[in-house]
Structure 1
């Protein structure tokens, strides 16, 4: 029970009204209980009901001095066609312009919902329903916005609003509406205001009658609040401190007298009628500091804030402030070139994603994003191999972004000729060099240089730039034979740069590369990235994730085993049935089906596949119909032209067709190989695993997850982060998840031997775990690995090593969904803590030690934490988390680690109650539980071991409900 001191009868009545409004809105209490909450606690009220009411009041009063603050939802408004809904889900309510085509049903989250903006008192001529309003009911023109003022006393208006405006939006899925222009009738001199207000009340009453459960936010309309207070969720008003003058198109400070009047109206709505209130203020989008300050001033008054630009077209600041997790990556694409081959993706993307950021790739040769980017992007990274043709436009655009506070990190080359005025604008100067510079030497270098290979100055790639700004710091200063110096890498007031060949260098005579600059340190400092709790896809509940996925290649091969069984049979008996682990298995239809390459073996292979797919721990995927080796070429194939078949299996009579490869192969598996009701979830890309937009779109439209691609092959003989691929990337908005680690084909020299070579993947697992955990354990191989004794032994060695690490076992689909969640998780500052919202698939945040320790009792949805190599892994219990840190460890009981997923998390005083469900016998550890009894499914557990305040437990089941019953300390 929370205790709040309230003096006086008036405040008690206010609190009761607030509790009634809050619980009526959030929990839809029965009318009788609403009446009890709205009134005082009568002496005749039963003890149980009185207790319920006290709990309601205490919940409402938690937090701020005024109870409505707790009841008020967080609100954002964005009327742009490109509203970033994934970021805006940080707010409980997001008001959008519905004509932009958003899908409220698809967007709806347990914690966030789209509301539709609708104008009641005005109409734009462009609205599709505008022509249906009688001309005599259009009273005047609002010249500021070019709209017509509607006569609210029009008797047919309530039905018109319900039928023409709200009903179509209701059908689309909107359940909340922001009603604007309610006071526009005041633009008409001498109008009967009472009649206008009566008409507005009739509109709201009609909407409530016609659309049960509708939720309404009024923009002003203060006079009608007493009559409709039980039918509205919130009242908004614009310009409490800062306003937008639409006629003059400028931002203005609100006069004190206007502010006091408006504040009085908002307080009356909040305090007398128990309705939450929202203040919408306006500032230039680049004035983030002023936005933050204004939002804090509004919040201090007990009013929900939203501070945005005058067009309501950028991400503003409210009770929560979104911390940008997107990085804008600019690269110099070439005609016909693939992004997957560019250093921007191959090298720079992995460090960025590991630091917790998602990436939007944009080609420097195409138009760049307009407007202020500060609210959406954490920084700009550029990887150009040379100046681009439109370099001057790029330079001007970049300067605009720098002027608005964006930080920039440049790799390899400036995308424009950095000389003269362009260099000067960046705090640089181009040095004229006469003759040959002679031998270059390193005059000075920062500790972040020489990261994976020593510096080797190369005069053939000399860019003759020097820092001219005292705010800059040289990272690599080169000197020529005459003593002239050049800054080949530097941190600057706007970010930093590392020029070729001091970012990544290729090793002569090999396919290997090395980072010369430490990409983590460079981007952290150049982009001034703050310490944040960032999402992590490698770990859950403190355990490294592990999954297994198998490409179907080689199913008809004969195994080097007694009786020479098919490789599919050997895989089933020698591996899958032996380990009985969650595994994602695929087949190639063109290998297995009767009309494929091996019709004589088809019946036997199909029978093996059915037995395999029937196993409860096997997840089913397709590996295509004809196994395209080159997906970009497959995308360009013309169905009616002769196919030379050089880029896919030569299946008689087959002409390349992407639908057939993806949807057709999945349909074949579903109809012929899968037990009834068991889904086919995934498309595992074949060959180069580089699908382009059309293939990705086909898979997504078919409801398939997709994976494969990437080239993580780091080993002791290739000890470089350039051999660690990113999580994946998006093409036209569809994300391709890369396989975390490459398959045995690479470790066996393209299956030429040694066939035991896959055991070296253990090196990859080790080197992607320390000093940074970059990847989960992914045992990825083909069916043909079961065809040879040496490769089978290697598989057993890899399986046994991996299981010895005590991982958290998952399926490939679980990992893919985590990758997709990583792309869209939003992080926002709130009340000295952090609001984290996602789809609930990704359950780990990684926080640097400088942030302190998670304060579980002061947080919501945080199950616990454990120390890792780079800080604390924080365990999330769901998709909506509030996280607060403390300088020292708290003594509260928390989950240290578990090999299963947490659900139904509850704090019960000093104890806990939660469920664990996984794919193996459950193991878990609790910290600070020495004064607690621990039960699993109601039965007491004895710790297997205790050390350092942590107790470890185990049970034989793969699912259990855990409860801790703790004595007071």
Structure 2
């Protein structure tokens, strides 16, 4: 009763984090109002400060750790004792030389670097060696003078004191906050164990914290220590601290992981490990990328890829990554011992791990006990094997085929794991093949993927269920790039190949003219259209435009067309690969005297388009990769430096007769901070077998678009074709059928550049949850949709900020966002909204403001604007352009169709 009634709840804007590790996760730390860092490990202070976070430098006033780079600069006579538990020497605070060194050298350097706040630690270190009251008073007087000098030397500095209760009467007015450790949960250095704080110690500390808050008006920060594997205990502890009116931070004693405070960051990144020696052509060919990335992205997570042979992160990943996934083909890693120890260190720090295929090294029981299993006691398995047990995770697209070949013989310990697929041999020795525990999960080869004819594959495990179980992927608001304002996105993309081919129709027009007349102008959908400079300008002998150039100019003048480049010479690959020669006519178009040059392909082709073909005030905005569609870092950096979005490669090819998620690729791949965006759906080239026929084959893209929408919406609608589809009667008719089917689907049409921007934001947006239950979503601008798990409820439109509506569909609950300065605050509630809200629209919202007259809005689309308002129980109309626009009443709302794409200001009135 005493503990729960002392104070009011902590301030909502007081969130504080401590992070002493390297590197500092800037985007995640920016969710906190203030962060205390170890300056010697901080390389990007300006980046964090520019995001609006107050940054404090850790400074030990009363002792110096032996590992400090400047420890040798301190004269030995300044020390009066050692603190062996923490590996440091205790300072005699009466030494004036120490005051001068600390203020004039160390703190001055930090001030010059941009720090405007210091966290002063070691304020009670002197008490270890000075016991006599008179001696302590002398030390306290010297300490108070030092703090006053710091405050005077650095005008406007903010100081946080770590304890120092004895000197509060002297210096309490110079500080903005006071911190203390171990109110409920602590750490015992001698035993290296986490401990629960004894009640007498807790009450003693509580009284002093209350005094610091009440008498000196200080923010009180409490740092408790909890085993990172006990996340729920950490959350409970943070809540206990907050309920007392203090600012909590719960982490490990090294403070080098991202813990839990008033804000809990939900990391969206997953570290994906692969063995590079098995994939000489790069990560694009790895199973962890081709097969596992898409399910993780659907669940809301983005991947950082790492070749284990290149190096492993030296820091703990707790709180920065949602987990680690590995997919190795064998147990022959080049660095098995180093990798084994690193993996154990991460598991012991609470990082979840999902292991698919092989472990990567030969495990012994000392390692396996961490997974809750052991080596089989049978020296030789007695075949044949049979299925002992299985659950919903197993048998997703194919059933497991028990086999002795390649089986890893592990048995479960008595408890601690959940067995999803168990096997048994004739001796009835129980083996585990797919299982999970509180550390993560394992799906062993050959029970992950079923290989088939000509490289075909099917999932044995359900990757969505397995990853959710293994990594404990909680029900977060999932950023979604398939949908906006409740409607599935629609992209139209024309790659430049075959523009000069002659069509086999009356008049024998050029293919580029057929596409212009029959599709780009007729359907008036936003379309991203590209040309290949080497083909378009081929044969020019003077300043006179070629026939293709003349038509391309007319196409690029169309308001619904976005300009793109498809390179200069159409390279078949963008970096050296074993199966593609890097020179010769087979590598690119035959252009006299030309050898592949990256800048000429990208920058040169874009410059040619902008100077020769693009109309005034319009320029190329996208680069569409050619050939295999896979770019390297150098190519990606160049496109980004030119302000070009990029796309191609990837492309889903799922069909009714090959209904497997292995044929649905991820959004793209990142190389460091450069992102290649994949085409959502494969092009006509794939559906016509490399343009060998049948030429009506592009009809089947309708199957792909349907199967990537149900039962899960995995990709937007995407009409992706080449100019040569305008050459055959069969291909023209197929393309018309695809257009006609697509426009009948409820959609929001966008350009490729708009989609590419959304994918980039998907990779980098961050997510946290406040203690009052609100989700903070940061890093958004063009990405305007999150998908809520139904179990989390509905968006609370009254309390949320930047949320304008919601639509419940069979694929999920889609929430419509309008970010304010890149941020959204999302509250949820068990009940659906009762006040007017946007149900769905084909437009992009620029403004949404609730006023006394109604909802004042600005929305524009590429085609005539449509909006549907809910709930249907309300009657609604729109005041627009000096008149009234009445809507059509539907079962779920009121539909308004504007005669223009951009109506400007309008007000929705519901009564």
**TM-score normalised according to structure 2 size:** 0.84
1:235 lines up with 2:177 in the alignment: yes
3-state secondary structure, aligned to 1:926:
strand
Residue 432 and residue 121 in structure 1: after superposition, are their counterparts in 2 closer, same or farther (change >3 A)? closer
- Deviation string for 1:69-107 (max 9, x for gaps)? 556343334343311122223334445566667556766
1:432 lines up with 2:382 in the alignment: no
1:192-271 equivalences under 5 Å are: 196=146, 199-205=149-155, 216=158, 218-219=160-161, 234-239=176-181, 241=183, 256-270=203-217
Which residue in the other structure is 1:48 paired with? Answer: none
Whole-angstrom CA distance in 2 between matches of 1:466 and 1:114: 51
Contact 1:737–1:819 (CA<8 Å) still a contact in 2? Answer: yes
3-state secondary structure, aligned to 1:488:
strand
Quote how far apart the aligned CAs of 1:703 are.
3.4
Contact 2:609–2:619 (CA<8 Å) still a contact in 1? Answer: no
1:683-694 equivalences under 5 Å are: 683-694=623-634
Higher mean C-alpha deviation, range 761-770 or range 155-164: 155-164
**Aligned mate of 2:659, from 693, 701, 719:** 719
Contact 2:356–2:442 (CA<8 Å) still a contact in 1? Answer: yes
Which residue in the other structure is 2:238 paired with? Answer: 295
1:353 lines up with 2:297 in the alignment: yes
Which residue in the other structure is 1:343 paired with? Answer: 287
Contact 1:622–1:684 (CA<8 Å) still a contact in 2? Answer: yes
**Aligned mate of 2:448, from 503, 514, 530:** 503
Which residue in the other structure is 1:179 paired with? Answer: 118
Whole-angstrom CA distance in 2 between matches of 1:374 and 1:604: 60
- Deviation string for 1:501-557 (max 9, x for gaps)? 32212222x342211222222222233333232211111111001112222222222
Contact 1:321–1:828 (CA<8 Å) still a contact in 2? Answer: yes
Residue 848 and residue 781 in structure 1: after superposition, are their counterparts in 2 closer, same or farther (change >3 A)? same
**Aligned mate of 1:591, from 535, 557, 561:** 535
1:849 lines up with 2:790 in the alignment: yes
Residue 217 and residue 544 in structure 1: after superposition, are their counterparts in 2 closer, same or farther (change >3 A)? farther
Whole-angstrom CA distance in 2 between matches of 1:568 and 1:513: 38
Contact 2:292–2:463 (CA<8 Å) still a contact in 1? Answer: yes
Which residue in the other structure is 1:516 paired with? Answer: 460
Residue 946 and residue 682 in structure 1: after superposition, are their counterparts in 2 closer, same or farther (change >3 A)? same
C-alpha RMSD of matched pairs (Å): 4.3
Which residue in the other structure is 1:895 paired with? Answer: 838
Which residue in the other structure is 1:53 paired with? Answer: none
Whole-angstrom CA distance in 2 between matches of 1:481 and 1:635: 45
Quote how far apart the aligned CAs of 1:820 are.
1.4
**Aligned mate of 1:548, from 489, 492, 506:** 492
- Deviation string for 1:431-474 (max 9, x for gaps)? 53658724x44454334433223443344344434434344444
Which residue in the other structure is 1:927 paired with? Answer: 870
Quote how far apart the aligned CAs of 1:321 are.
0.5
Whole-angstrom CA distance in 2 between matches of 1:676 and 1:159: 59
Higher mean C-alpha deviation, range 921-930 or range 456-465: 456-465
Whole-angstrom CA distance in 1 between matches of 2:67 and 2:568: 49
Quote how far apart the aligned CAs of 1:740 are.
0.6
Higher mean C-alpha deviation, range 517-526 or range 563-572: 563-572
Quote how far apart the aligned CAs of 1:774 are.
0.6
Residue 649 and residue 415 in structure 1: after superposition, are their counterparts in 2 closer, same or farther (change >3 A)? same
1:315 lines up with 2:261 in the alignment: no
1:384 lines up with 2:384 in the alignment: no
Higher mean C-alpha deviation, range 783-792 or range 900-909: 900-909
Contact 1:773–1:869 (CA<8 Å) still a contact in 2? Answer: no
Quote how far apart the aligned CAs of 1:743 are.
0.5
Residue 125 and residue 653 in structure 1: after superposition, are their counterparts in 2 closer, same or farther (change >3 A)? farther
1:819 lines up with 2:759 in the alignment: yes
Whole-angstrom CA distance in 1 between matches of 2:354 and 2:109: 51
Residue 745 and residue 373 in structure 1: after superposition, are their counterparts in 2 closer, same or farther (change >3 A)? same
1:611 lines up with 2:558 in the alignment: no
Quote how far apart the aligned CAs of 1:287 are.
5.3
Whole-angstrom CA distance in 2 between matches of 1:412 and 1:910: 61
1:401-412 equivalences under 5 Å are: 401-412=346-357
**TM-score normalised according to structure 1 size:** 0.80
Whole-angstrom CA distance in 1 between matches of 2:470 and 2:192: 36
3-state secondary structure, aligned to 2:695:
coil
Contact 1:251–1:310 (CA<8 Å) still a contact in 2? Answer: no
Which residue in the other structure is 1:796 paired with? Answer: 736
Which residue in the other structure is 2:829 paired with? Answer: 886
Which residue in the other structure is 1:362 paired with? Answer: 306
3-state secondary structure, aligned to 2:868:
strand
Query: What residue ranges of structure 2 are gaps of 5+ in the alignment?
Result: 127-137
**Aligned mate of 1:530, from 474, 480, 494:** 474
Query: What residue ranges of structure 1 are gaps of 5+ in the alignment?
Result: 1-63, 170-175, 209-215
Quote how far apart the aligned CAs of 1:844 are.
1.4
Whole-angstrom CA distance in 2 between matches of 1:492 and 1:155: 55
- Deviation string for 1:375-394 (max 9, x for gaps)? 12323322121112344544
Whole-angstrom CA distance in 2 between matches of 1:700 and 1:921: 32
Which residue in the other structure is 1:88 paired with? Answer: 29
- Deviation string for 1:632-686 (max 9, x for gaps)? 2189999xxx944542223222232323322333233333333344343322211
Whole-angstrom CA distance in 1 between matches of 2:782 and 2:70: 44
- Deviation string for 1:841-881 (max 9, x for gaps)? 22211122222222222322221211122431111221322
1:74-85 equivalences under 5 Å are: 74-85=15-26
Contact 1:626–1:661 (CA<8 Å) still a contact in 2? Answer: yes
Whole-angstrom CA distance in 2 between matches of 1:436 and 1:481: 5
Residue 167 and residue 680 in structure 1: after superposition, are their counterparts in 2 closer, same or farther (change >3 A)? farther
Contact 1:910–1:966 (CA<8 Å) still a contact in 2? Answer: no
Quote how far apart the aligned CAs of 1:723 are.
0.6
Whole-angstrom CA distance in 2 between matches of 1:934 and 1:358: 42
Quote how far apart the aligned CAs of 1:767 are.
0.3
Residue 910 and residue 615 in structure 1: after superposition, are their counterparts in 2 closer, same or farther (change >3 A)? closer
Whole-angstrom CA distance in 1 between matches of 2:623 and 2:872: 44
Residue 910 and residue 623 in structure 1: after superposition, are their counterparts in 2 closer, same or farther (change >3 A)? same
Which residue in the other structure is 1:787 paired with? Answer: 727
Higher mean C-alpha deviation, range 422-431 or range 776-785: 422-431
3-state secondary structure, aligned to 2:547:
helix
Whole-angstrom CA distance in 1 between matches of 2:111 and 2:404: 69
Whole-angstrom CA distance in 2 between matches of 1:581 and 1:482: 66
3-state secondary structure, aligned to 2:801:
coil
Which residue in the other structure is 1:768 paired with? Answer: 708
Which residue in the other structure is 1:539 paired with? Answer: 483
Residue 802 and residue 98 in structure 1: after superposition, are their counterparts in 2 closer, same or farther (change >3 A)? farther
Contact 1:571–1:783 (CA<8 Å) still a contact in 2? Answer: yes
**Aligned mate of 1:663, from 603, 610, 618:** 603
Quote how far apart the aligned CAs of 1:139 are.
11
Contact 1:286–1:372 (CA<8 Å) still a contact in 2? Answer: no
- Deviation string for 1:926-959 (max 9, x for gaps)? 2236445443447565554334452222212323
Contact 1:201–1:224 (CA<8 Å) still a contact in 2? Answer: no
- Deviation string for 1:668-722 (max 9, x for gaps)? 3333333344343322211111222332233333333222111410011321111
Whole-angstrom CA distance in 2 between matches of 1:68 and 1:924: 42
Whole-angstrom CA distance in 2 between matches of 1:673 and 1:123: 69
Which residue in the other structure is 2:133 paired with? Answer: none
Residue 469 and residue 734 in structure 1: after superposition, are their counterparts in 2 closer, same or farther (change >3 A)? farther
Whole-angstrom CA distance in 1 between matches of 2:814 and 2:523: 29
**Aligned mate of 1:835, from 771, 776, 779:** 776
Query: How many pairs align?
Result: 876
Contact 1:785–1:791 (CA<8 Å) still a contact in 2? Answer: yes
Quote how far apart the aligned CAs of 1:421 are.
5.0
